Chains A and B, each alone.
Chain A
Amino acid sequence: MVNKRKRQSFWSLKLREIGTKRASSPIASADEEGLRKQIAAWRRRVKLTNQVESPSGIPLREVYTPQDMPYFRYVSELGMPGEYPFTRGVYHTMHRGKLWTMRMFSGFGAPEDTNRRLKHLLENGETGLSIAFDMPTLYGYDADHERAKGEVGRCGVNVSSLADMKTIFEDIPLDRVSTSMTINAPAPVLTCMYVATAQEKGVPPEKLKGTTQTDILKEYVAQKEWVFPPEAHLRLIRDMIAYCTKHMPYWHHISISGYHIREAGANAFQELAFTLADGFAYVDLGLEAGLKVDDFAHRLSFFFNCDMDFFEEVAKFRAARRIWATAMRWKYGAKKQRSMLLRFHTQSSGASLTWQQPLNNIVRTTIEALAAVLGGTQSLHTNAYDEAWALPTEESATLALRTQQIIAEETGVPSVVDPLGGSYYVEWLTNEMEERAYRYLEKIESMGGILEAVKTGYIQREIAETSYKRQQQIEKGKTVIVGVNKYITTQESPIKTLKIDNAVQKRQIERLRILKDQRDSRKVKESLLRLKSTLMDTSANSMPAILEAVKARATLGEIMAVGREVFGEWKGPEAF
């Protein structure tokens, strides 16, 4: 091998900086000398036998003191809320000034079922919408496709055409509510459907507020709802970034998601590192589209998981803000403060919910929601207690919303910004999270970037390894899950759950038949032909052609089929 001197990456420079900081011992004052003696004496007195690790495997001391971070500097590492490096929060007054958005992930059955649920939640104090789509929609198949058999409306709402999208938002004022859509591979199509729905209601795209998830990179490693090869999806995302930056100034076109990475089995700092790596890849993509970093970076948003590891979660959120701000400023040369803000949505952990003793899940969700709030989230979904069994009932979803409302209105937690800041433990753990994330970021860059790391299966293997280890810990009883491997009840009493009827599929198929009967099929054909030639020309922006096809009443499946024809489908690396 040629011995080539490599240019130092930004991440390795950051790691070196941390190393230097650690090595430099500050001048000991009399007070610090006293502290050192006190701690040494305490250690002699206290018998310490058991080794304890955080759930991510970080060894933990019994107690943290200033001695654990003699290099800690308030101004450079924390700063004030709403100011660089934003460790303490992205806004000056955080939840005291404005509560987080209560955004419940909802969607099931046919569009009218979901429309009713959305209106119910809004009437009960929800402050933002979030739509869950079913598997056929997520994979870009219509309800009448062979592969959709048995899956329509089961994991979310089915959307096969613009008509379905319009039904979901019937009687909902799109100029006043913000909508998040958990859609990735077909994100451009669903965005166009939302735009068309709004336009028909007289709301122009420039007024629309909301988010499409669009984060395909984490699909390849975690949720695995991809359609095309990575390069094709990234090109479509590039088009979306450019289009939305120009026409939809309030739209978050990508929600860079750690949630699914965590659910797939990653630990807290893996979630942090892989999510940020994906985030920086999207910044690169925007730059590649010819945009300036300060023109689009502020529209990138994040989406994290909040699991049961209370302090790790808080530390993770704080570290995420600091790393993003630091890299946006120094690696990407962002000048505007808004480009440096890591704003995020949080969902309490689905994987932490247990099928056994489901009422325990209310307690889990409460603890996770509290950590998310203390970590400075901008919006929050709280899982319902029955979600290890099925999609939530109206009753359980309402209770989950109430959980947030109780935290917001009764605990006093929102009154003070970053109340855990300054805790020796939390600050130390924040630094740990940061350093471990930098190590992964450096490793990924040295492998040739995130796309390489995804295509070779490196990230997937890292996640699977952690997930298998955790399962083994559970099997051995070293990791306790109440009701699952300890405090087991022999007789579980069943709970009432939401059932999705097969009639939903029949109804959706019938609707498609009528739609195809009534629409101008020549217009549809022409729009799909134009779309095909646009997709084949990599320098073209595909969004206008997709919007045109949507408006001509081409279905989701038909539009995605054009993509499948042009780009082919992705198989993914060997997973086992």
Chain B
Amino acid sequence: MKPILECRGLTKKYGSTFALYNLNIALERGQIIGLLGPNGSGKTTLIKLANGLLRPSGGQILINGSEPGVETKKIVSYLPDRNYLGKHMRVDEIMAYYNTFYDNFSLERASGMLDALSIDPRARLSSLSKGTLEKVQLILVMSREADLYILDEPIGGVDPAARDYILHTILTNYNENATVLISTHLISDIENVLDHVIFLKSGQLVLNASVDEIRTQHRKSVDALFREVFKC
């Protein structure tokens, strides 16, 4: 089986600066992978390339063997790092919108999660707090039966209790063959749910290892290793 996401010599330049340089990685299926790196290390650039929002300056990025496009968007469920929803809509309207747009969206699953987080389906998005809006976006993304979930900073704006619920949501909703790629700064909060971590530094790969390999080898948590590698 082809890797669900593969980068071959992937390079992205903005003007004369390299946001990513000669990146080679392949993500396996059925894993939860942390995409970690300091600000400006290229995480969001990589994610945008995977979703076809940017084009590579060199090399290739392949989703299930194909370049990002209509077919790959069917199997990738993407949570951007900013709000992209029309604020005038109500929660149930946006759910219905997603349900029409994506074949693999489960309205039932979405309603269940709204209930669990006591979010009123009739509320207008413009009336929601920042944290609640983030929860709604995550619900939309996790209610799809996708092969690859790409979550850009999914837990940044929510309180610790909601963070636990979100991690629980991710664990319950991805199926055994799906891969979840999560970019975040809050490593210690999510370390226990990750299989694998990828460290990016100035657009280059510095580490690609499993969480328990890191703990066995360095006798410290991924969070502690991150602080060491990226010490300012």
**A-B interaction:** no
Interface of A with B (CB < 8 Å)? none
